[in-house]
Amino acid sequence: MTEMPLPSSPLFLGIDTGGTYTDAVLWSESAGVTAKAKSLTTRHDLAVGISGAVDAVLAEAKADPAGIKLVSMSTTLATNALVEGQGGRVALVMIGFSEADLARDGLKTALGTDPVVFCGGGHDVHGNAKPLELAELEAALPELEKTVSGFAVCAYFATRNPAHEIAARDLIREKTGLPVTASHELSAKLGGPRRALTTLLNARLISMIDRLVAATEGFLGARGIKAPLMVVRGDGALVSAAFARQRPIETILSGPAASLVGARHMTGLDNAVVSDIGGTTTDVAVLDNGRPRLDPEGATVGGFRTMVEAVAMRTFGLGGDSEVALEDGGLAPRITLGPRRVVPLALAGMVHGEAVTAELERQLRAPNPGRMDGRFAVRTGVPERLAAGLTAPEAKLYEAIGPVPLPLDRLLTSTAQNATLNRLVGRGLVHVVGFTPSDAAHTLGRQSNWDAKAARLGAELFARKRDGRGQAIADTPEAIAERVLLAVTRNSAEVILETAFAEDGLDGAATVAHALVQRAVDGHEGIARFTVALDRPVIGLGASAPLHYAGLPGFVGNECVVPQDTDVANALGAVVGQVRISAEARVSQPKEGLFRVASGDDVRDFLNEEEAIRVADAEIRKIAAQRALDAGTDAAEIEVTHDVRASMVDGQRMFIEAHILAVATGRPRIAA
C-alpha cells in the first residue's frame, strides 16, 4: 500500500481477531484507511497475533501509538466456538423448571455432558414468587467448583422478577468465585428454555472473550496506547470491553456485523448481498436501503436459536480452512467441505517444518492410501485448567498429544479413539491438521503465505483416495486442487442463494437443493433450460474473496464487487460504527387496581396506571443512560417508545400490559 501522510483528525485503530488471521487497520475521518496489516491468530495466546498485526500497521503508517484516540475490535471467536461446538464446561442452574424443559429449544443438545442442577422456586407471569429452595445447589457447589469454568442461572419468569436468579448468583459467587451469568441480564423476552440456552452459551464463552480482552488491553498498555477499547456487538453496535466481558454472547456475529458496516462504508451500495468468507465460516446477509436487517427471532449460530439481537446473518461452515473430505459411498464421490475448521497443512508445515513434511512423505511412500493420511493432531495450547473434567480415555489421549503435530495413523490405535479425539477438539483442547482449500490454493500457486511443499504433499495424498470403482480420484495434485477450489466457489453460490431464498420467505436449504435450482446454477444444457439470478450484486469480503469469488457471477446471475480493502472489512467496520444500547420495562396488572413495574433488577407496585407508566418511563431512561455510559458513550441520545395493550369489555377499557423500550445511541468516547 502506498505511504500516505498521517491525517489531521484523530487516528482510530480497528482490530479483527478471526479464526485464522488477526487484522488491524488505522483509519481517520479525514483520510480513511491509512494503513492495514495481518498476523496469524494465535489461539493459545491471543496477544501474540494482536501485537503482530498492530505493530505491523503502526510501522507501515509510521504512527505514534500515543496518537491513537480509540481502539475498536470485532471478533469471530464466539461465533466460531459455537459453530465448532467449543467452549468451557459450565454448570446450568434451573430454578422452577423440570427435566422435561431441557427437551425444548435444543437446550439438552447444547448442554451435552455438562452438569445441570434443578432447584425449587421461580415466579408466575406477574412476578409472584414460589418458595425458593437452594439447598441442593449449595450442596453441589464444592464438587462443581473443581470441574466447571462458570455457571449459568435461569429462573422461571425471571424476566418478570429476577429475585431468585440474583439469590442463586450471589450464593455461587460467594462460595466459588467463578463467573456467573443470570438469564435476566441478557434478555427480557419470555421463553425460559431458550433464555436458559442463551445463558448457558454466554457462560461458556466468558473465559474465551475474557482472554481476548485481557490480551488486547495488556498489549495496548505495553505500547502506550491509552485509548478506550470497544468491541463490536452482533447487531453492529459498539460496546465497551468491560460490557462485552460480562455479555460475550452478544458478540456472536460480531465479526460479520462489523463486515456489513465495513462493506457499506467501502462500496456505498445500499442494496446488496454481502458474503464474507473467512478461514472457518462464510457469513451471508442482505443490505436493504443501506441497513442490515436485524433478526427479530434472535441470532442462530451453530444450529442454536438464541435470544441475542443480531444482524439477520446466516453463518455456514465454509471457509479457506474447511476440512476437505469425500462423500461416503457412490461411484464418483463428491468433494465435501466443512463444517469443521482444521489447521491447513501449509500452515502446520510453515510452523513445524519437517515434523509435518517428513510424515507426509512417509505416507506417500506407502503402496496404498491410508484412511488417516494427511491428518495430524496438535494441542491448541490453552491453559491446563481448561482441561478439567476429562474422562480417563480423553485424559490418556490428551496426554499423548503435544505441541508438535502427531500423525493420526500413529496416534490412534482404535476406531473408538476417533470419537475421543473429536471430543477433545470440541473442548477446544486439540486441533486437527488436514487438507483444506488453503492448501489447494498453495498447490496451484494462488496463495503463497505458508508452506507450499506441505500443501502439495497433502494434495498428492488426497488425489490418491479411491472412488467407488477403486480408482484414484485425480491424476495429479493440481487436478484435485482445481476441483477443491471450484467446490468452494460452487458451495459459496449455494449459501448465497440459500440466504436469498430464505429472505424471500422460502425454505432456503430445501429450495437451493431442488433439482431445478441445481440445474440452473450449473447452467445445465437441456431441452428445458432454467436460470437463477439475484436482483442485486454480491459484495465479496474476506482475504480470499478475490480468489474464491472470481467465478461467482456465473453461478448467481449478477456481478460480484470485491472492494480494495476487502481483506480488512471487519477491522474497518469496527471503527466506523456507534454505540447503541437498549433497556426495557414492563407494567403488568397482577390483580385489578394493582400495577406492577419490572425494570432492571427492581419490581415495584403502584395503585395507578398513569403513575406506574410514568415511573417505568423514568426508570428505563435512567437504566438506558447508565448502560450507554457503561457501553462507552458520553453523549447518548435516548428515544423511548410506549406499547400499551388494553381491551374494551362491556364498554369499559381494561389495561392488560405496557412495554416501554428505551434506545440510547452515540459515538464512542475517545481519549482526550
Q: What is the dihedral of CA 541, 338, 493, 270, to 10 degrees?
A: -30
The pTM for the full model equals: 0.71
pLDDT(538) > 80 = yes
Question: Average model confidence (pLDDT) for the chain?
Answer: 90
Q: Beta strand 291-292 with 579-591: parallel, antiparallel or unpaired?
A: unpaired
Nearest to 21 by CA among 352, 563, 449, 552: 449
- Angle made by CA atoms 181, 237, 39, in degrees to the nearest 5: 90
Say what the pLDDT of residue 347 is.
96
Average pLDDT over residues 24-41: 89
Domains of the chain by start residue, with CATH: 11-83+209-264 (3.30.420.40), 90-205 (3.40.50), 270-319+497-568 (3.30.420), 322-485 (no CATH), 578-666 (no CATH)
Average pLDDT over residues 150-172: 93
Please state, in angstroms and rounded to a whole number, the distance separating the CA atoms of residues 643 and 586: 10
In this structure, of 70-79, 195-204, 225-234, the range with the lowest mean pLDDT score is 70-79
Please state, in angstroms and rounded to a whole number, the distance separating the CA atoms of residues 93 and 439: 44
Say what the pLDDT of residue 495 is.
96
| 289: helix, strand or coil | coil
Nearest to 74 by CA among 568, 543, 561: 568
Average pLDDT over residues 117-124: 93
- Angle made by CA atoms 192, 198, 200, in degrees to the nearest 5: 100
Nearest to 554 by CA among 503, 496, 513: 496
Average pLDDT over residues 274-290: 89
Q: What beta strand segments (E) does 51-115 contain?
A: 68-75, 90-95
Say what the pLDDT of residue 43 is.
67
Where do runs of H (alpha helix) occur along 132-191?
A: 135-147, 163-176
For helices 452-463 and 477-503, angle between their N-to-C axes, nearest 10 degrees: 90
% the chain with pLDDT above 70: 98
Residue 284: which residues within 8 A CB-CB, separation 6 or more?
273, 274, 275, 276, 313, 314, 316, 495, 496, 498, 499
